[in-house]
Structure 1
Amino acid sequence: MKAAEAGPAPEVFRPPVSSVLALDFQQLKTKLQTYLRPEDVGRVEAAYHFSADAHAGQFRVSGEPYVSHPVAVCSLVADWHLDPQALIAALLHDVMEDTHITKAEIAERFGKVAAELVDGLSKLDKIEFRSQEEAQAENFRKMLLAMASDLRVILIKLADRLHNMRTLDHMRPAKRRRIANETLEIYAPIANRLGLNDLFRELQELSFRNKYPLRFEVLAKAIRSARGNRREVVGKILASIEERLPQWGIAAEVQGREKHLYGIYRKMVEKHLSFSQVLDIYGFRVIVKDVPSCYLALGALHSMYKPVPGKFKDYLAIPKANGYQSLHTTLIGPFGMPVEVQIRTREMHHIAETGVASHWLYKEDEKTLTELQQKTHSWLQSLLELQSASGEATEFLEHVKIDLFPGEVYVFSPKGKIFSMPKGSTPVDFAYAVHTDVGNRCVACRINGDLMPLRSELRNGDQVEIITAAHANPNPAWLSYARTGKARAQIRHFMKNAQQDESVTLGERLLNQALRPHGLTLGQISSFAWDRFLRDRGVRHKKEVFSDLGLGKRLPVIVARRLAEAQDLESGRPDVVKPKPAGAISIRGSEGVAVQLARCCHPIPGDPIIGTLRKGQGLEVHTHDCPNVAKLRGDRGRWVDVEWEHMVDDRLFDVGIRVLSHNACGVLARVASAIAEEDSNIQSVSMDGGQGEYTALNFTVQVHDRMHLARVMRGVRRVQEVVRIGRVKADGRVG
């Protein structure tokens, strides 16, 4: 934003502050003068005095005046060369939370933009972790929305978190661990996703130190000891690289670096290694002038030391999602010590260290920055999609955490487009990454030209083709192996909507049937009667009632009686229409989640059936002689008359049969062949031994209806060894 948008220069408030604070702000002011205009520096100074006034008399746990914290946050933000509005918001980020200052006052003095930033920061100031998971998730959702509308919100919040982590020593140990854990799980991954590499590493180190102080100290001591032992080898490698690159005509800056403690600790935990087994604690960075020099330098290094197979990664050709670009290779150095080397250009180095903040820091490389900004924008939009598709805040937080820890699997569409997917992704995740509609209509896939199961794990370089069908829908089983937050959120979203629509339709049918004994149909219920019914029960809309009826949360006979009573209260109501005999509800067996065929008795078309309403699960259809239905004889309000719809359908239904046969060689194959000859599919088979010369074969077969089952059973009886065959009932008996 331009400085003019911040509003007129406000009056400067100057409360007495300590000389230490004055010195802190003077250092900040000197930093600001290197890139801001004098009038903008004046606005920031006014915000500093305003903040000092608002926080007067407030102190941090360490005993320092509270305003020292906003000054430190503003100084961190100034390192990224953020604009005056962001600097003002950094200085005022706690005034709405901790003082009497309102958003309107900030807008009046410092402009609407600064006020909006402070408001966004105030909403996400107190995130609770674990102890109040729902509250934390709701606050995190607010943080996301603020971040999506203005990226400066999260940059200021990350600077705020970094300063809090640096000054965590004065907190109680339990609180230090909680804040460190929260930082590791949420803030450090966000910094990484935005490409803020330096900030990401420091947040990890500080979190490690505060979450596991003893482990941190032991590992730090081991690193100090190893540093002395390996200094000579590292110096030799550095000197040889600096000598070899000019011989190949490459002008380069070579940096040696020690790996971060948290990275070493994670490697030890994940690979079950002791510290002595972690050899690559040192790495090198080679910075060159352009992209061709990167590949030339790679050749020079591989001519010096042998590369480790499978350890080369080209992030120049395929950048990471956060814009990071570099060549990574691991070499076998002197004495067999692994040496990790990163090769990149100066511009890539800027972006690797500062990520999206490079938009403010380095504006000369417009092409690279535009691409990075587009990727960041796409990520923020994808998070907003997750937010809209997730029902509860805790579910949303689960999805976002998955996406904040991406792996590095790169796969291709049939047209050659590259998709970066988290490790462990499946074709279902790929389908949703292409488009939500592709995911919802997915039925099969080809990986590298071969038909593969949808649960197959994708690998680097796979070409994935998704096969769709117009009437296909997501399968709930996908949730057991879908990896990405987008896929999981969209599958859950679809299932909820599908259940809602089906249960509303079923509820209307159930209520219409229940109203017939009262001489009414659903269409004859007046708006007055509905309003009275909804008001008395605190329900907002008729659809909620229908949905509850379809899911078994309300009983149709009770709702019908209450509606009829409300209808009777309406004066001048016309005579009750003579009801037709109450008809049964027709069942196809393919209604979906609102109508379930009972697994205890496996009803099939042609069976006499009865429906029962199960709370929260809708209508469950049983055979009329199912023992589980007999248990509900005293609760007739939950019984529903149902009948099979008369229609030709290709749907197959599971049913159990038990075959008793002589224990002869090949009998199982002959029985299976007889079942197949009658166009029936075998879902499962098991055998009960220990019956002497007889064997019991238990099949679950798929049939269209009762007539089809009869043909299957006649075909099996023709097998010579078969003694007896029957259908398995709900109680395990054969009938």
Structure 2
Amino acid sequence: MPTATSRPSSLCANWRWACTAWKSSTAVTPDRPRQVTWCAIVNPVAITADPANASADQPGPNKTIYQNEDPAYRVFIDSLSYLEPDEIALVIEAYHFGEDAHHGQTRLSGEPYITHPLAVAGSLSEWRMDAQAIIAALLHDVMEDTAVSKAEIAERFGKPVAELVDGLSKLEKIEFQSYQDAQAENFRKMLMAMARDLRIVLIKLADRLHNLQTMAPVRPEKRRRIALETLDIYVPIATRLGLNNISRQLQDLSFEHIHPVRFRVLTRAISAVRGNRRELLSKILEGIRNKLHESNIEAGVFGREKSLYSIYRKMVEKHLSFSQVLDIYGFRIIVRDIPHCYLALGALHSRYKPVPGKFKDYIAIPKENGYQSLHTTLIGPYGTPIEIQIRTQGMHHLSEQGIASHWLYKDSEESGANLQVKMHKWLQSLLELQSSTGDSSEFLEHVKVDLFPDEVYVFTPKGKILALPRGATVIDFAYAVHTDVGHRCIAARIDHELIPLSAELANGNQVEIITAPHASPNPAWLTYVKTGRARSKIRQFLRTIQQEGSSTLGENMLNQELQALGVLPSEIPSAIWERVIRDAGKKSRREFFADIGLGRSLAAVFARRLAAHDEVPQTEASVSLPLVVRGTEGMAIQLASCCQPIPGDPIDGMLRKDQGLLIHTHACQTARKLRNSEPQNWIHVEWGADPGQFFDVQIRVTAKNVRGVLGRVATGISQAGANIEHVSMDRENPGLYTELDFLVQVSGRQHLAALMRSLRRISDVVRIVRKQE
């Protein structure tokens, strides 16, 4: 592998001489500060001189000139005019460093490999990224594909550049058993890298864009895989960062590689429509401009064609043919300031009839990625729908360049400063989410919801606006406010009306969360929460509870086995405990007990190991006593849904690996089948003291089909001190009698018997039975 030569070593000194000579030709303009017209830029050269023959003012006479006739290189150098001269010198030095490092390497197209990092760096210079980012782009593959080290990059170009290149290299160096695992971990590493330094992901997006643009020589199946990954990972990240222009390019290129035939057909169809509708579009454009002019509103009006991918997605999602997609074109209006946005909106609504429900004000309530505009859809000539976006010039910069506008328009009053703050908060939430997520696949599952945010905007009682994904529920709102609010929520009010926790939120809702100090998350919440934050926090809480409950259960199970062997757990020396726990590969007693409670290890086996040591005193073996359960232990001990055991029922326990103990009634048919097939997993259990809480049980009441019978039965249940969780009745077969199925909560078997006796006293009740599978 070739190494870098000493060619660029004196380049900076020569560049400083050149800058001194060229300063007189520097022209500064308001729109392009430090715009430089340099003769050498037309035909860029890298100059190396013998330092002995060079002065601070001019290069030495024995100079060697390295010319680069590549037009892309010349365009790239010209695009750097916004940088300081010393920074440009360092960028050119980095180019030659990378060119030497990649010497002899080619892309699949046969082009020199350096053309790829040059193109990536060119994208960054278009965004006016800083010199460090551009240098990192030029060198982003040298650590991966050449013998260049991080230390060498740090020495030549500084530690920040080396960290950027190292961060980019680490995104590539991962191997996994499956593509899904690799994708999930890539996604996680991308977002974590973004949290450290946004420039890493901007370089990576530019890298992916150029790779998609040059994938013709790649095998079709690999092109498809890369394109699918782009849609799944890179597009949502670009969108979340507000890089809508990049996002559209990535989408269209991916579409072309995934469905090449459909892409060509749709391209030809749009080309044909472009000619057919030219007159109509011109008429609409003229009508909009005339109306704005009549209203004394200075504005730029531009027609825009929607991206191929967005048209294709609309056809697929709404099952439309191309001829049915009328809104292929949209119009964008750029005005001077925010008041003129609303004036323009009013003027257009007086010219064309607006479509109800199609107006969105993203100026008053910006999207999470900082996007601002007024959106409206109007009915144009011949009933053609016209989609309009109205925004200021600053909003337009932000909508196209997103987070990159922080570098593009630093001096603008409408810079990306607010977006920087929003992105920082979002990235901090990613770090928090990462710390509370079990693995990369779970992290991917949580975050992707937040990356496709078709949003609703809701209010706290104090008027604070929260943006949540469409379909978000009250629980999502609670966790968005604070983790503790989510953990303790029991109900909510939407617009002052009590609603269940599963209720979906709508735009403009005012939401108030009702909490209780001893409440905790219910596993059922996972079936209807939408946001990654809520899902992650619930799972983290349940994992913690499961670990604690499993540890207690495992300790009780081990103690039971030890007592059966005549060993008192308290009499076992600490050294013996530590040895057995270490041999089991665990770090603590809590982890050791949890493993037993989750069914990963057998209590009897470890009881014998502990009792086998000579140092352990033994007494006379006792009869094995049943394990005492209360039914309130949480995740570690669960009650089977098939038979719904309640205190007082004869019960058995089935130990399930990684899930803890499942309690069945002794008469349960499901339990009998499992007992025959897995006898080794069953242990003798019995109810402990009064647990002080209610348990679910189902009863079926057969009653005369007369008016008011449901109310009388429900009253009877309430008077018996039971709670009604759910009720259903047979409406399909009306007759003399009806069957009412109740899910009620009772404290135990005695309470259930008292309830059933009470209901039998109702004259219309014919029969009552407890329902069990």
Q: Flag whether TM exceeds 0.5 (same fold).
A: yes
Equivalent in the alignment of 1:645: 688
Q: What is the one-letter code of the residue matched to 1:186?
A: I
Equivalent in the alignment of 1:349: 396
Q: CA RMSD in A?
A: 3.2
1:516 corresponds to which of 546, 563, 586 = 563
- Equivalent positions of 1:425-464 (< 5 A) are 425-464=472-511
Structure 1 contact 14–49 (Cα < 8 Å) conserved:
no
Equivalent in the alignment of 2:159: 112
Structure 2 contact 729–738 (Cα < 8 Å) conserved:
no
2:648 corresponds to which of 602, 606, 619 = 606
1:546 aligns to 2:593 (yes or no): yes
How many angstroms does 1:310 deviate by? 1.7
State the secondary structure of the residue aligned to 1:190.
Answer: helix
Structure 2 contact 728–742 (Cα < 8 Å) conserved:
yes
State the secondary structure of the residue aligned to 2:416.
Answer: helix
1:248 aligns to 2:295 (yes or no): yes
- Name structure 1 gaps, 5 residues minimum: 1-8
State the secondary structure of the residue aligned to 1:168.
Answer: coil
State the secondary structure of the residue aligned to 1:170.
Answer: coil
How many angstroms does 1:629 deviate by? 5.9
How many angstroms does 1:624 deviate by? 4.6
- Equivalent positions of 1:88-237 (< 5 A) are 88-125=135-172, 132-237=179-284
Structure 2 contact 395–414 (Cα < 8 Å) conserved:
no
Change (3 A) 1:658 1:402: closer
Change (3 A) 1:343 1:675: closer
- Equivalent positions of 1:681-692 (< 5 A) are 681-682=723-724, 683-684=726-727
Equivalent in the alignment of 2:746: 703
State the secondary structure of the residue aligned to 1:437.
Answer: helix
How many angstroms does 1:323 deviate by? 1.0
Q: What is the one-letter code of the residue matched to 1:274?
A: S
How many angstroms does 1:389 deviate by? 1.8
**Distance in 2 between the 1:419 and 1:269 partners?**
31
Q: Which moves more between the two structures, 326-335 or 575-584?
A: 575-584
Q: What is the one-letter code of the residue matched to 1:706?
A: R
- Equivalent positions of 1:395-406 (< 5 A) are 395-406=442-453
What TM-score comes out, normalization by structure 1 length?
Answer: 0.90
Equivalent in the alignment of 1:4: none
Deviations 1:37-60 (A, max 9, x none): 121111111111111111111110
Deviations 1:177-235 (A, max 9, x none): 11111111111111111111211111111111111111111111111111112111222
Equivalent in the alignment of 1:533: 580
Equivalent in the alignment of 1:43: 90
Change (3 A) 1:561 1:76: same
**Distance in 1 between the 2:333 and 2:677 partners?**
81
Structure 1 contact 555–638 (Cα < 8 Å) conserved:
no
**Distance in 2 between the 1:695 and 1:332 partners?**
55
Q: What is the one-letter code of the residue matched to 2:646?
A: I
**Distance in 1 between the 2:175 and 2:290 partners?**
54
**Distance in 2 between the 1:180 and 1:142 partners?**
19
State the secondary structure of the residue aligned to 1:169.
Answer: coil
Deviations 1:143-192 (A, max 9, x none): 22111000000000011011111111221221111111111111111111
2:73 corresponds to which of 18, 25, 28 = 25
**Distance in 2 between the 1:725 and 1:285 partners?**
69
Deviations 1:524-543 (A, max 9, x none): 33332233323433334332
**Distance in 1 between the 2:343 and 2:765 partners?**
77
Equivalent in the alignment of 1:266: 313
Change (3 A) 1:377 1:556: same
Q: Which moves more between the two structures, 304-313 or 84-93?
A: 304-313
Equivalent in the alignment of 1:679: 721
Change (3 A) 1:62 1:609: same
Change (3 A) 1:283 1:610: closer
Deviations 1:336-366 (A, max 9, x none): 2222221111111111111111111111235
2:417 corresponds to which of 370, 373, 383 = 370
Q: Which moves more between the two structures, 583-592 or 142-151?
A: 583-592
**Distance in 2 between the 1:689 and 1:337 partners?**
48
Structure 1 contact 389–490 (Cα < 8 Å) conserved:
yes
State the secondary structure of the residue aligned to 2:512.
Answer: strand
**Distance in 1 between the 2:150 and 2:196 partners?**
17
1:61 aligns to 2:108 (yes or no): yes
Structure 1 contact 410–461 (Cα < 8 Å) conserved:
yes
How many angstroms does 1:613 deviate by? 2.4
- Name structure 2 gaps, 5 residues minimum: 1-7, 12-45, 49-63
Structure 2 contact 631–691 (Cα < 8 Å) conserved:
no
Structure 1 contact 667–721 (Cα < 8 Å) conserved:
yes
Structure 1 contact 479–491 (Cα < 8 Å) conserved:
yes
Equivalent in the alignment of 2:530: 483
Deviations 1:502-532 (A, max 9, x none): 1112212222222223443334333322333
State the secondary structure of the residue aligned to 2:216.
Answer: helix
Change (3 A) 1:19 1:280: farther
Deviations 1:459-487 (A, max 9, x none): 11111111111111111111111111111
Change (3 A) 1:658 1:220: closer
**Distance in 2 between the 1:328 and 1:157 partners?**
31
2:546 corresponds to which of 487, 499, 516 = 499
**Distance in 2 between the 1:328 and 1:705 partners?**
59
State, as a whole percentage, how many aligned pairs show the same letter. 58
Q: Which moves more between the two structures, 331-340 or 128-137?
A: 128-137
Change (3 A) 1:231 1:696: closer
2:637 corresponds to which of 567, 589, 595 = 595
Q: What is the one-letter code of the residue matched to 2:360?
A: K
Equivalent in the alignment of 1:655: 697
